[in-house]
Amino acid sequence: MNVAILGTGYVGLSTGVCLSEIGHRVVCIDLDEQKINNLIQGISPIYEPGLENLLIKNIEVGRMEFTTSHRDGLKGAEIIIIAVGTPQKNDGAADLSYLEQAVKDISIHLEQSAIVVLKSTVPVGTNEYIKSILDDRCSKQAAIEIISNPEFLRQGSAIMDTMKADRIIIGYANREAANKVLEMYRPLNVPFLLTSIRSAEMIKYASNSFLATKISFINEVANLCEAVGADIKEVAEGMGKDKRIGEAFLRPGIGYGGSCFPKDVKALLHTADLHGVHFSLLKETIAINDLQQETLVRKAMNRFGDLKGKKIALLGLAFKPETDDMREAPSIKISRLLTNLGAEVVAYDPVAKDNARKILGDTITYSSSINEAVLNSDAVFIITEWKEIKYLDMAKLLKNMRHPIIFDGRNCLDEERVRACEALEYYPIGRPAI
Ligand code: UGA
């Protein structure tokens, strides 16, 4: 099939390479010339495991192209996927301006009939709004059908998540269009669910908000475990064995971050408010998460009394491993709190350093290795559970620190290795300190 994709962010690019890999001809359109020039040469604008290999491979076999021209990119497209960002506005609502621009571009340049597949996360009712704009603006020869097809891939495992998705949601009004989109996905051989358009839009927000709430719940249980002397590792394992609860997303930590959970929970809350539905659970999810991002600083304050002049090494900056994404990363709030309290912050991240610098500037120092970051530090904060941080050389680390103290915000260090380092003071989340 001929597929055009508008937007070359995580969703657009990952979808593009995967559809191309299963045999479709894909053209990705983006207004950013520099980005498109790089992509033509097989250079990905984002760090995402496996993406660049598939990109290069599919460009070479001629199934993948990139352009800044909507006229060229939309020519002959049977399916047009919109995967532009829907960031958060000040009031918590989703900002649809990129989406509106994409729709305008389609209506100006599309000359044939096509199915428009909306992958961007959008509030309930948006697909119908988009369809009405397209119906008004497109020429009589170009009949448009719209499909709501929310995306569930995670950064850091985007390719696997697309190739082996748990489910594909197809929200439709026209069954023929739904069948055509199903045909596009058929080679992936993953389960699918046909729903109404409004339900599909809701599934996305409800799923992300549920997962975020699960994280806030387990973080509160972890805090309670600390107070009563229980161990969250055992508690979460025991809970997760119940199939109704499930083991996933029961890892306590320093709160969720990223470009999706924070904005989607707020957007769902905004929708609830608009419709007079009192969804106070979501308010708590957000409030717990905000507080949880401060937990390592609170623990360090308890330990030291005062953080003025203390050198704190942050290991990891990205909101999670295997990504260079810094959007809403807990490391931002933690760095700001620490520097406000007069601490000196030295940070290390294998890939997110440049993006972190754009947000935090020179308020903190950036190191090029774990050992450089921890040199003469008073404490280490583990922020992101990158493999090299999980398996760091503990003996070497301790030798270089002024005080051998680790606050592990991800409970990622192996307990036996920690116990083997007698000099080490170790503070995990929701578990007894060692
Ligand atoms: C999330 C969803 O998991 C995807 O299904 C969805 O498609 C995506 O948002 C989106 O809407 O685009 P993502 O933000 O990439 O994916 O990352 P997750 O792996 O879900 O992690 C989000 C945050 O939750 C991270 O900060 C992570 O550290 C935290 N987390 C996750 C926990 O603190 N505990 C857990 O048990 C799991």
Residue ranges per structural domain of the chain: 2-195, 203-290, 293-427
**293-427 domain in CATH 3.40.50.360?**
no
At residue 87, the pLDDT reads 87
Q: Which of 15, 155, 389 to mutate to test the pocket of ligand 1 (most atoms within 8 A of CB)?
A: 155
Residue 140 banded pLDDT, cuts 50, 70, 90: low
- What is the CA(202)–ligand 1 centre distance, in A? 18
The label of the residue with tokens 């005062």 reads: 306
Q: Which pTM was predicted? A: 0.94
Task: Report the alpha-carbon distance of residue 170 to residue 194 in Å, rounded.
Answer: 5
Q: Which of 48, 235, 320 to mutate to test the pocket of ligand 1 (most atoms within 8 A of CB)?
A: 320
Question: 154 CB less than 6 Å from ligand 1?
Answer: yes
Protein residue with its CA nearest to atom 23 in ligand 1: 256
The two three-digit tokens of residue 27, written as one number: 């053209």
Neighbours of 199 (CB within 10 A): 15
State the chain's mean pLDDT as an integer. 95
Task: Report the alpha-carbon distance of residue 370 to residue 373 in Å, rounded.
Answer: 5
Task: Report the alpha-carbon distance of residue 368 to residue 334 in Å, rounded.
Answer: 20
Q: State how far Cα 127 lies from the chain centre.
A: 23
Among 382, 397, 378, residue whose Cα is nearest residue 348: 382
Please tell me the number of Cα atoms within 13 Å of 417 on its side-chain side: 14
With 70 as the cut, is the pLDDT of residue 203 above it?
Answer: yes
pLDDT tens sequence across 367-414:
999 999 999 999 999 999 999 999 998 888 888 899 899 999 999 999
In CATH terms, the superfamily for domain 203-290 is N-(1-d-carboxylethyl)-l-norvaline Dehydrogenase; domain 2 (1.10.1040.10)
Catalytic residue status for 260 = yes
With 80 as the cut, is the pLDDT of residue 278 above it?
Answer: yes
- E-strand ranges in 322-394 read 344-348, 365-366, 379-382
pLDDT tens sequence across 39-58:
999 999 988 899 999 999 99
Residue 153 banded pLDDT, cuts 50, 70, 90: very high
- What is the CA(151)–ligand 1 centre distance, in A? 13
- E-strand ranges in 263-412 read 311-315, 344-348, 365-366, 379-382, 405-408
Is 171 among the annotated ligand-binding positions? Answer: no
The C-alpha angle with vertex 299 and arms to 296 and 302, in degrees rounded to 5, equals: 150
At residue 47, the pLDDT reads 86
Is 6 among the annotated ligand-binding positions? Answer: no
**2-195 domain in CATH 3.40.50.720?**
yes
Protein residue with its CA nearest to atom 18 in ligand 1: 154
pLDDT tens sequence across 68-85:
999 999 999 999 999 999
What is the interface pTM, i.e. ipTM, of the complex? 0.99
Helices (H) and strands (E) in the chain, counts: 19, 14
Is 253 among the annotated ligand-binding positions? Answer: yes
Tell me which of 28, 138, 225, 260 is the catalytic residue.
260
- What is the CA(236)–ligand 1 centre distance, in A? 18
Residue 210 banded pLDDT, cuts 50, 70, 90: very high
The two beta strands, 379-382 and 405-408, are parallel
At residue 143, the pLDDT reads 86
Question: 258 CB less than 6 Å from ligand 1?
Answer: yes
Pick from 349-358, 389-398, 424-433: least confident: 389-398
- What is the CA(429)–ligand 1 centre distance, in A? 19
Pick from 205-209, 280-284, 402-406: least confident: 402-406
At residue 202, the pLDDT reads 97
Q: Which is the closest atom of ligand 1 to the Cα of 320? A: 28
Question: 192 CB less than 6 Å from ligand 1?
Answer: no
Question: 210 CB less than 6 Å from ligand 1?
Answer: no
- What is the CA(385)–ligand 1 centre distance, in A? 14
- What is the CA(261)–ligand 1 centre distance, in A? 7
Question: 267 CB less than 6 Å from ligand 1?
Answer: no
Q: What percent of the chain has pLDDT over 70?
A: 100
